[in-house]
Amino acid sequence: MSERSEDKAAEPAQEKVWKSGSRLERLLAKGEFVVCGEMAPPQSADGSVIERKAENFKGFVDAVNLTDNATGIVRMSSIACSALAIEQGLEPIVQMTCRDRNRLALQGDILGAFALGARNVLCLTGDHQSMGNHPQAKNVFELDSIQLVDMVRRMRDEKVFQGGDELKVEPRIFIGAAENPFADPLEFRAPRLGKKVAAGADFIQTQAVYDLERFGKWMDMVRERGLHEKVAIIAGVLPCRSARGLEYQKTSVPGMSVPDELIGRMKAAEKPEDEGVKICVEIISQLREIEGVRGVHIMPVMWERILPAVVEQAGLLPRPEVGDEG
Amino acid sequence: MIVGKAKPVEEVVDMVQGYQRILVVGCNSCVAVCMAGGEKEVQVLASALRLAFRAKGREVQVEEAMTERQCEVEFVDTVRDKVEKAEVVVSMACGVGPQTMARRFPDKAIYPGINTSFMGQPEELGVWSEQCGGCGDCVLDQTGAVCPIARCSKRMLNGPCGGAQNGKCEVGNDTDCGWQLIYDRLKAIGQLYRLEENIPARDWRTDRDGGTRRIVREDVRA
């Protein structure tokens, strides 16, 4: 075999074809341990809130989730906030729930989000509206999260709308989904993750991890099925400010598992805020040791200004650059 | 059965305000079984109306009647005499009853006496629960005879969602997680493999989304 033909054969393998080309996709491909953060859009029409909040995220996370009327509370739309976040130099992860939109609206929003520069979408079924500030609302739920993932993948890879029509310019989206290792039944949580992978999920963000024992059991099942090699699992963490806040999560947030030991630590702490950060940092370092965990997703609910400290103390700075080489 | 719940008396009083001759008509099928619109409930509402108007210093005439099945015109015809003598009818059938009455008695004011709630079953004495979403394309074969449309709060076909914990739904009110029930049933009948398959987005045209539904069967048509 001549040198030339060897070169030729090697060439195509070097060209990585990106699904979306997002920073998140590129960093995961490089094997970086990624950091995502969650930003809550304002409960008002004041877009400058995103500009102010961006300071807590820029340089500290690789991508930022903008929630979509999370817990059924109306806020500025995830797509609008994503566009504002892009203006601030952040890479957004658009959150999209099936609660408020049917397949027409979802697809229209996917196209619009892509046109505005968004390259990551997290596909969610959505919290039931009974938990929020419009419990009188009618919900949609005509697709579930798995069907939404499948729809977005087919729009991207097969260039078709869900109804079958051809899509001329496809939305090149890096597709995310959520999974909750703490929801029941435990033995079905890994198979259900498998369904999301089969539908086309590229990355997974999990519910906030406090209960490492249960998370570890779930990851065992995930690895048994080889799912950690097919999808990038990004573990959720939530820095907590007070014992009361942590107790609230344990008792009042569906699908959370909080060990009593952690509540005890928060109660005993002289400075609960410092202890909350410490616990979060400890959890992150333990998550980094688990095979198949490819990053963390920090959800500083009502406490976004603490995010830089968490990232710094977890030893996750500086955040890596994405080169043009991919 | 179709399960309903009596409307508050004050609401019915408001509806029939200004009428002198009122007829309350119950139905002897579903709503009688679920104790919302049977003979006893008709008597209770009729008495309550008399008392309510008396308290306002008005004597009204409230008659009572029963139909075997208020969803069919033939049965509605059995109370024609009483309907004709009344100025207004309060139907205690499910939502189909008042409409059958209205179709049969086009010039008569017909008002609902109950709220039609769902298709369900009695769980225990005094407790009824929704079981069927009437979606027009039954999937019970795939879900261990537990309906995901009616019994999952999010109508998920690939549940359970992340809000399911200890067998309960995130909406609270002690609602069972429909997908936990599906899981348990499929496990019991050795069909857990069904849960590994992705159920695709469904065609909702058989549900209300295809417009008002109607079934035409040429084989039984006159």
Q: How does pLDDT run across A45-84, given as a tens digit for each residue?
A: 999 999 999 999 999 999 999 999 999 999 999 999 999 9
Min distance A100 CA to chain B CA atoms (Å): 11
CATH number for the domain whose boundaries are A23-313: 3.20.20.220
Residue among A129, A146, A251 with most chain B CBs within 10 A, to mutate: A146
Residue of B146, B158, B175 to mutate, testing the A interface (most A Cβ within 10 Å of its Cβ): B158
pLDDT tens digit sequence for A103-115 = 999 999 999 999 9
Pick the last residue of a domain from B66, B82, B117: B117
**Residue B20 and residue B111 in one domain:** yes
Which stretch of DSSP H or E encloses residue A221?
helix A212-224
Q: Looking at residues B4-8, what average pLDDT do you find?
A: 97
Q: Do B200 and A147 touch (CB under 8 A)?
A: yes
Average pLDDT, chain A: 95
Instruction: Report the gap between the CA of B145 and the closest CA in chain A (Å).
Output: 19
Q: Do B107 and B176 have their domain in common?
A: no
Contact yes or no for B165 and A182 at CB 8 A: yes
Q: How far apart (Å, rounded) are the C-alpha atoms in residues B113 and B11? A: 9
Same-domain pairing of B111 and B140 = no
Instruction: Report if pTM > 0.80.
Output: yes
CB contact under 8 A, B198 and A146: yes
Residue of B nearest to A125 (CA): B161
For A297, phi then psi, to 5°, come to: -120, 110
Distance from CA of B81 to the nearest CA of A (A): 42
Whether B89 and B11 share a structural domain: yes
Same domain (yes/no): B7, B113: yes
Share of chain A above pLDDT 90, in %: 93
| Closest Cβ opposite residue A125 in set B154, B169, B198 | B154
**Rounded to a whole number, what is the distance in Å from the CA of A84 to chain B's nearest CA?**
29
pLDDT digits (tens, 9 = 90+) for B60-107: 999 999 999 999 999 999 999 999 999 999 999 999 999 999 999 999
**B10 and B112 together in one domain:** yes
Average confidence (pLDDT) over A294-315: 97
Nearest CA in chain B to A98: B154
Residues B138, B65 share a domain: no
CATH number of B16's domain: 3.40.50.2300
Is the pLDDT assigned to residue A3 strictly greater than 60?
Answer: no
Q: Which residues contact B164 (CB under 8 A, 6 or more apart)?
A: A183, A184, A254, A255, B170, B177, B179, B180
CB contact under 8 A, B154 and A130: no
Does residue B85 sit in the same domain as residue B156?
no
The pLDDT of residue A15 is 76
Residue B188 has pLDDT above 50, yes or no: yes
* pLDDT surpassing 60 at residue A4: no
> Cα–Cα distance between A94 and A123 in angstroms, integer?
9
Residue A133 three-state SS: coil
| Domain closes at, from B90, B117, B144 | B117
Out of B157, B180, B195, closest to residue A184 by CB: B180
Q: What is the mean pLDDT of residues A165-192?
A: 97
Q: Is B108 within the bounds of a domain? A: yes
What percentage of residues in chain A have a pLDDT greater than 70? Answer: 95
- The gap between the terminal CA atoms of chain A, to the nearest Å, is 30
Q: What is the mean pLDDT of residues A82-104?
A: 98
What per-residue confidence (pLDDT) applies to A1?
Answer: 44
pLDDT, position A203: 98
Per-residue pLDDT of A23-37, as tens digits, reads 999 999 999 999 999
Q: A199, B196: Cβ pair inside 8 Å? A: no
Confidence at residue A28, expressed as pLDDT on a 0 to 100 scale: 98
Residues B89 and B159 in one domain: no
pLDDT in tens, A147-173: 999 999 999 999 999 999 999 999 999
Identify all chain B residues contacting A179, using CB atoms and an 8 Å cutoff: 162
Asked if A189 and A233 touch (Cβ cutoff 8 Å), the reply is: no
**A12 band by pLDDT with thresholds 50, 70 and 90:** low
pLDDT tens for each residue of A247-288:
999 999 989 999 999 999 999 999 999 999 999 999 999 999
The beta-strand segments (E) located in chain A are 34-39, 63-66, 92-97, 120-124, 174-179, 203-208, 232-237, 293-298
A248 token code pair:
């609230």
Do B165 and B91 lie in a common domain? Answer: no
Tell me how close the Cα of B172 comes to any Cα of chain A, in angstroms: 9
The total domain count for chain B is 2
Chain A residues within 8 A of B185 when measuring between CB atoms: none
Minimal Cα–Cα distance from A139 to chain B, Å?
Answer: 8
8 Å CB contact between A38 and A65:
yes
Q: Are both B88 and B139 inside the same structural domain?
A: no
Q: Do B71 and B25 sit in the same domain of this protein?
A: yes
> Please, which residues 11-70 of chain A have a Cβ atom closer than 8 Å to chain B?
none
pLDDT band per the 50, 70, 90 thresholds, residue A324: low
Predicted pLDDT at A326: 44
Which residue, B117, B146, B168, sits at the end of a domain? B117
Domain of residue B141: give its range. 133-207
Q: In the predicted model, is pLDDT for residue A7 greater than 60?
A: no
Q: Say what the pLDDT of residue A13 is.
A: 58
* Predicted complex ipTM: 0.94
Q: Provide residues of B within 8 Å CB-CB of chain A.
A: 153-167, 169-172, 177, 180, 183, 195-196, 198-201, 204, 209
